[in-house]
Amino acid sequence: GRQARDKAHPHALKEQHRAAAAHHTRILEKLGAKHAAALAALEDRERTQAQAATAQAQIDRTLEEKAARETEMRERTAALAARDAEHTAVLEKLRGEHRLTLQTLRRELGELRAERDAAATLRDDLLSTQEGLERNNAALERRTEELEERARSLTVALESATEGRRRAER
């Protein structure tokens, strides 16, 4: 059937072959185009995946750096808190020492005031005693002068009496 027909119309056969070849070529071209598009899409996908991997690596690095910074900040904060606690302890110790020093100074100041007051009282007593002694001394000097004057007048009177008795005896 078909072979006979093909032999009868060799020209039609060639046309069929040419049409089939053209059809196959178109199919192959379409397949080639699809293949090329698939390859391009695959390359695009691979490129996108590589970019995504690069971006993810960058994100991971950024997160690691952020975590490292946070750790460093926590360590710094802890160090600052420790130093702050040390400073607070030193300040408290100094405040305590300052309080003790102030109490000691106040006590010593009180003692010094008491000593000063006692010294002032003693000085006043000594001045008063000195004034009394000076008054007594002045009174004693007057009394001594009076007694010496009396002794002189008694001596003169005695000498005069003695002289009068000698004359009377002669």
Enclosing domain of residue 145: 2-159
Whole-structure pTM value: 0.39
What whole-number distance in Å separates Cα of residue 15 and Cα of residue 9?
Answer: 10
- 22-65 pLDDT, tens digit per residue, is 999 999 999 999 999 999 999 999 999 999 999 999 999 999 99
Using 50, 70 and 90 to split pLDDT, how confident is the model at 5? low
* 12-to-1, 22, 118 alpha-carbon distances in Å: 15, 15, 153
Number of domains in the chain: 1
Asked if residue 72 belongs to a domain, the reply is yes
Asked if residue 168 belongs to a domain, the reply is no
Asked if residue 142 belongs to a domain, the reply is yes
Question: Are 13 and 6 in contact, with CB atoms under 8 Å apart?
Answer: yes
Note the pLDDT of residue 148: 95
Structure tokens given for 159: 């000498």
Note the pLDDT of residue 8: 60
